Amino acid sequence: MLMGAERHDSPEAMTAVVNVLVVGSVDTASGTVESTISLVRDGPATIVIDPGMVDDRRQILEPLEALAVDPNDVTDIVFSHHHLDHTLNGALFPNARGARSPAHPPSQHTYATHGRGHPDHRR
């Protein structure tokens, strides 16, 4: 940090609240893959981490509703990396920074399986 520079994005205290919205899983028998999706709230920041593959988008939206978080109020999305199993549902958060970050081009296989397997996880 530069001497005399002010930081406006640093929290005043350690106040973050973290909730796991979806617990990730891999079912090799059925080929189902679901990402772990988390929510972090800290002051004015409402952050969703890795909004990737789930069998049904309600698995993301219903826990948010139970926590009184409107998807339109999410300020940021963090993608740990740009594979569809971590980015597929970023569009649920249209006002978030990161929602329009480019990911790997979608494959027909990934969309056709509706979250039931990512080619990288079938090896």
pLDDT digits (tens, 9 = 90+) for 75-108: 999 988 888 878 889 999 999 987 544 444 444 4
- Rounded to an integer, what is the distance from CA 13 to the centroid of its chain? 24
Closest-CA residue to 9 (of 48, 42, 40):
42
DSSP structure class, residue 106:
P
Place of tokens 């999706």: 37
Give, in degrees to the nearest 5, the angle at Cα 56 between 53 and 58.
115
Q: What is the pLDDT of residue 50?
A: 92
pTM (predicted TM-score): 0.68
Using CA atoms, how far apart are residues 10 and 29, in angstroms rounded to an integer?
45
Q: What is the pLDDT of residue 4?
A: 55
Taking only the tens place, the pLDDT of each residue in 9-22 is 666 667 899 999 99
Q: Find the distance separating the first CA and the last CA of the chain, reported in whole Å.
A: 44
Using CA atoms, how far apart are residues 60 and 69, in angstroms rounded to an integer?
11
Q: In the chain, what are the domains?
A: 17-98 (3.60.15.10)
For the chain, the residue count is 123
Q: What is the pLDDT of residue 10?
A: 64
